[in-house]
Amino acid sequence: MKDTDGKERPMWRTRWTVPEGRYGDTPHPPVLLVFNRIGERNPNRTVPRLMELTRHLWQGERQRGGHHLYDRKIPIIAVGLNQLREHGPAGLVFARFGRSGPQTLLEAIGNPRREAADAREQEEAKARAAQYQAEVQRVAQEHDAKQAAEREARRPVCTGCGTRFTDARWKAVQPTDWGATKDSHPHLCDTCKQKAGAAVSPAADTQERRKPERGEARPDDSWPAPQRPVCTECGAAFSDERWKATARVGWSPSPAKRPSLCGDCDQRFEADSDLAWGVSHQQEERDQEQEPAVPEQKTTGWLSRLRR
C-alpha cells in the first residue's frame, strides 16, 4: 500500500517503525502469541503444530559461526499466560519458534548469537591488524638495522691508529663541489690529523706555517690554491713569495723549475747540482769577466770592402 509520502511499502511498515537491519539480515516485526489454557485445547500440542505450519515464515539460514540470519523472516514467539503471570514480562518464559529453551523477551525477538559472532569477528580483525602492524614494524626495524650495518661497514678507518671515523669526520672528508677545499689528511682521524700537522715541520709555529687568510686572491692568481703548499723535502710551508712564484696561472704549468720545493731547498738543490759538475754559475760569471778582450782582426781585400 502507499504510505503517507506516496511511496509503495508493506502494510506493516505503515503501522510500525523498525530500524534498518544489517546486510543480509533484515527481519520483519516479531509476532507474540499468548496462550490462555481454557477449555479442552492443549497449548502443548497446538504450539508444535503451529510451528510446522509457519516454518517457511520464521526459519532462518544457518551460518558458519553457528548463528542464523533472518532476512525477511517473521520472528514468532509463544508464551503461556500462566507463566507470564508467574514470572513477569522480564522472566525466561518466551519461546521463539526454531529455538530450544525459554528466553527473555529481548533475546527472543533479537539475535544474540549473531551479536556474539560479530563481536568475535571484530576481535579477530583487531588481532589480525595488530599482528600485521607488528610484522610491518619488525620488517622496518630489520631493514633499518641492515642499512645501519652496511653503513658501518663502509665507515672509513684511520690509517694511523685504526679507529673508525666519527660521523662529523666522515662527512668532512667526503668530496663535495669542485671548488670546495679538500681535506689535507683524508685518511686520518681528527686526533691523528692534528698530530700529523704538528709533526710536519719544526717551523710549525713560524710565519710560514700560518694558514693564509681567505679572500686575498691577487689579479694574477686565476686559480688560487685552497691550502698553502708544503715543501716535499723539509716539510716547511711555502712563504708568500715562494707560493706566488710556484703558483700555476690558468691551465699553464708552474713557471718554477722545482715547484714542490721551498725557496731554501730550491737554492740548496741548485748549489748541490753545481758542485756535482765541479763549477758554479758564480764562478762561470767571474771567469767570463776576467777573460781578456780579443782585438778585432782586420781583414783586407774585397771582403773588407763589403763589410764597410
Burial of 235 (0-12, 13-18, 19+ CB in 10 A): middle
Q: CA 55 to CA 97: how far, in whole Å?
A: 8
CA distances from 276 to 266, 270, 279 (A): 15, 10, 8
> Which residue, 218, 227, 223, 230, is CA-closest to 252?
223
Grid coordinates standing for 13? Answer: 511498515
Can you give the pLDDT at residue 71?
84
Global confidence as pTM: 0.45
Can you give the pLDDT at residue 214?
44
pLDDT in tens, the chain (308 residues): 888 888 898 887 777 766 665 666 777 889 999 998 887 878 888 889 999 999 999 998 888 878 888 888 899 999 999 999 999 999 999 999 999 889 999 999 888 888 888 889 899 999 999 999 999 999 999 999 999 999 988 889 998 888 888 888 888 888 776 766 677 788 888 888 888 876 655 444 444 444 444 444 444 444 444 578 888 878 788 888 888 888 776 666 777 777 888 888 888 877 766 655 555 555 555 555 555 555 555 555 544 454 44
Alpha carbon of residue 1 to chain centroid? 65
DSSP string, 75-127: -EEEEEHHHHHHH-TTSS-BEETT--S-B-HHHHHS-HHHHHHHHHHHHHHHH
Q: CA 251 to CA 248: how far, in whole Å?
A: 7
135-166 CB burial, b ≥16 within 10 A, e <16 = eeeeeeeeeeeeeeeeeeeeeeebeeeeeebe
Other Cβ atoms less than 10 A from the Cβ of 112: the count is 13
> Which residue, 94, 115, 112, is CA-closest to 104?
94
Alpha carbon of residue 187 to chain centroid? 29
Query: How far from each other are the two terminal CA atoms of the chain, in whole angstroms?
Result: 148
Largest CA distance in the chain: 184
